[in-house]
Structure 1
Amino acid sequence: MANHFDAVIIGGGAAGLLCAGFAARRGMRVAVLEKNDRPARKVRITGKGRCNVTNNCDNNDFIRAVRGNGRFLYSAIAAFSTADTMAFFEGLGVPLKTERGNRVFPVSDQATDIVDALVGFAKDGGAKIFTGQAAKEVLAENGQVTGVLLESGEVIPCTRAVIATGGKSYPLTGSTGDGYRMAQQLGHTIAPIKPSLIPIVAKEGYCAAMMGLSLRNVTLKVLDSGKKKPVFEELGEMLFTHFGVSGPLVLSASSHMTGDLSRYRMEIDLKPGLTAQQLDARLLRDFEENRNRDFANSLDALLPRKMIPVVVELSGIPAGEKVHQITREQRQGLCILIKAFPVTPKAFRPIEEAIVTSGGIKVGEINPKTMESKLVEGLFFAGEVIDVDGYTGGYNLQIAFSTGYLAAQNL
């Protein structure tokens, strides 16, 4: 490692590996420093181990899916689009498929196929990957990168360095915020780090009673007491947990919620395919078929089993009430409950459980056309360490690929 390298990539994740592979193919001598015993550990667990590698959308839709500072990514996504990402992996022998919401996954549903392709791409291009090697500091003199200091005390001389260390979520994968500290040491400003795409703790105890229940094809709505329109409303999947709610819908919703969560309330439409009138007609049919049964035993065809006791309690209708005794007003109240099942946000889970972190190195201090620092010559950034983050659906990995590629082209 004492050999001189043209560029040192700090972080062997999605952004770092892709950057290393393309930079090496441009004839550069490239080293990748990965402090874990193997690269791309976070990529291995994305999409529940399936790896939602990108989103099959055009550049404008991609920019719209970036929560803040989307305009900063115009050059990056133009240089390496979602279509380029798909072509890249399929060219490496990883066939892809597009699912609901334009989410793109490997056909195999194995994140390891994406990891193996990235590692192979970097190595085959000539980049040297050093695992178990943690960078401590990027060295610079007179505003120019001169090397990278390792935790071991060794210095790797170089004139180019890329900080691609990720954010602060999932620290067991190596994302512990090291990149923020290194950038600060060189004069960069760090926008406040906050969790994004994160599960939500609920006030209601009944979420724990339904722990493990996954809802599909429901609509989650988030309402802000200070606004007339919902801040989030989307059809998809979600999950009840011991602390509250999680799953794709909840993760997406969390990125629209800021500050004091007491301002918000969440409503789940359990039957979005039915209007209130159609749902009432459905209940009438079900009740007619079960007219002599207890109310608590009449909802099997309508709701998941774990949810029935909770809905019965919230409806105010006695569990042992005979169905034929249920009044029109009680039935209509039940319809309202099913169309707007309440969950009250209490807090976000710890930042370590966030899919990505919001905040990071301020984009005003980075050249958007090159990903190079405006403060230190030869210092580049790629991926989640930058103050950009997108909604769930493959956008954040695409940010890593696009910024990593653009950095590689300008090293």
Structure 2
Amino acid sequence: MSKVLVVGGGPAGMFAAYYAAQNNNEVVLIEKNEKLGKKLYITGKGRCNVTNASDMDTILSNVMGNNKFLYSAFNDCTNKDVMDFFERRKTHLKVERGNRVFPKSDHSSDIISCLKRAIEDVGVEIKINTQVKKLLYDPFVEEEKKETENQNSKYKKKKPKIKLDKIIKGVVLDDGNEILADKVIVATGGFSYQTTGSTGDGYHFAENMGHKIVEVSPGLVPFEIKEDWVKKLQGLSLKNVSINIMSQKNKKLYSDFGEMLFTHFGVSGPMILSASSNIKPREFENELQLYVDLKPALDEETLDKRILREFEGGLNKQFKNVLGHLFPTKLIPIIVNLSTIDADKQVNDISREERLAFVKLIKNLPMTIVGKRSFNEAIITKGGVTVKEIDPSSMESKLCKNLYFCGEVLDLDALTGGYNLQIAWSTGHLAGISC
């Protein structure tokens, strides 16, 4: 039997604690907040998008980077395994559009309660309101490893290997007390939703152990838009539209089809969140152009004929009064103002050139992206502890023996749709069983 400390009481940490305890270890779960799963509580707008019911190949394809690193984790703990975990404990699930899996109750609190009961049932000791200050370790040197290093030193051109030179000893708490342990699992999350206590503690722990941190940035986060008219559309959701995002050099950075939402600061919604994770952070150093195709199912010629029909059905009516069948009411005054056509002009007086310019506006509604929102509005964190220094078959550090990392603290992120939580469950499970 080993003593295992799990630092962080989110989804990855709770799964890690449960599976570590199932291996007859003495497990202590340390959480700095006043309760477990604080960030999990607000995921999926409070409903908790537990996972995605697509096949695992599809889930893997929605991981933005380092997806090969997850082969072992996803193989050992699939989405079906996660769903079975909750169903067996009478927390029933349902599958919605896009194969997104939610609790039938639509309450994320039911998922958290289920996890808490599970870890208590296997004897995990839970310490809340407890802050870990740093990790404790001793030097770790094996005679065999020394010989290998001496041999490698003869070949100066050889790329130096990752050095396993530490062994975990435990943790130091904020109050100065030490908790000694045989193994430690770091599941502290990233920087996103900082009001829930995500302050990047795990990055500091990792750096102090010699790990490299891939630059972190907000992921799955809304965009800020320069144009003031966007604020007037706050709350308006557009479905079945497409977007193109272009750089200042007119290079296409991202395109998508789906749903978007106007906010008081800019735009959000599934397409926008996905775009934020697909576009490289350095691209946001300059303004970007967002073009929305309001009628992607129609080419310009077909759309022109459609507009003509609307005009013919409203002869002698003002331009602003014949667009009710084309756009949501809230959008009409905005699209009229952005066009080259006088709002009060009668439709039978509108020229062909004006009409064709209007068609182009509908197919390319322009906005200027001036940046992403902060970490506090980001669903996930991009970047983190480099996976090059983590063993993908166990989640163990390659630098420090008996130290493990799982969940969002690692340089792993996926698109919206339950994929990020699957990463948390799978990596937490693998870290736990590896102990």
CA–CA distance in structure 2, aligned partners of residues 363 and 240 of structure 1: 36
**Counterpart residue number, 1:146:** 169
Which amino acid counterpart does residue 74 of structure 1 have in structure 2?
Y
User: Equivalences for 1:98-247 in 2 at 5 Å?
Assistant: 98-142=95-139, 143-224=166-247, 230-247=252-269
Contact 1:18 1:121 in 2 (8 A): no
C-alpha distance after superposition, 1:339-374 (max 9, x if no partner): 221122111112232111111111111100000001
- Equivalent position of 2:87 in the other structure: 90
Aligned pair 1:77/2:74, yes or no? Answer: yes
Corresponding residue SS for 1:221? strand
Aligned length in residues: 407
Q: Partner of 1:364: helix, strand, or coil?
A: helix
CA RMSD of aligned residues (A): 1.8
Does residue 364 of structure 1 match 2:401? no
Q: Which runs of 4+ in 1 moved over 6 A?
A: none
**Contact 1:163–1:382 at 8 Å: present in 2 too?**
yes
The offset of 1:88, in angstroms, is 1.9
3-state DSSP of counterpart to 2:135: strand
SS in 2 for 1:169: coil
2:432 is the counterpart of 1:408: yes
Q: Which of 31, 35, 41 is residue 44 of structure 1 equivalent to?
A: 41
Counterpart of 2:188 in 1: which secondary structure? coil
For 1:394, the aligned partner's letter is G
For residue 62 of structure 1, report the CA deviation from its aligned partner. Answer: 2.0
Partner of 1:15: 12
Equivalents in 1 of 2:260, 2:426: separation in Å? 29
Give the AA of the match of 1:6: K
SS in structure 1 of the partner of residue 432 of structure 2: helix
Which residue in the other structure is 2:330 paired with?
306
Q: Distance in 2 between matches of 1:290 and 1:135?
A: 69
Q: Which amino acid aligns with 1:128?
A: E
Find the aligned partners of 2:79 and 2:367 in 1 and give their Cα distance: 35
**Unaligned ranges ≥5, structure 1:** none
CA–CA distance in structure 1, aligned partners of residues 99 and 29 of structure 2 = 32
Give the Å deviation of 1:225: 5.4
CA–CA distance in 2 between the matches of 1:126 and 1:41? 21
Quick one: which amino acid aligns to residue 239 of structure 2? R
Identify the residue that residue 293 of structure 1 maps to in structure 2.
317
**Equivalence for 1:28:** 25
State the distance in 2 between where 1:333 and 1:284 align: 13
Paired residue type of 1:236: G
CA distance 1:277–1:115, change in 2 (3 Å): farther
For 1:276, which of 278, 296, 300 is the aligned residue? 300
Deviation at 1:226, TM superposition (A): 5.3
Secondary structure (helix, strand or coil) at the match of 2:355 reads helix
Contact 1:271–1:338, Cα closer than 8 Å, also in 2: yes
Indicate how the Cα distance of structure 1 residues 369 and 135 shifts in structure 2: closer, same or farther if over 3 A, else same.
same
1:336, distance to aligned residue in structure 2 (A): 1.9
Which amino acid is 2:372 matched to? F
Aligned with 1:381 (options 392, 399, 405): 405
Q: Which TM-score applies when normalising by structure 2? A: 0.89
Note the C-alpha offset of 1:156: 1.3
What does 1:281-360 correspond to in 2, within 5 Å?
281-360=305-384
TM-score by length of structure 1 reads: 0.94
CA distance in structure 2 between the partners assigned to 1:39 and 1:160 by the alignment = 21
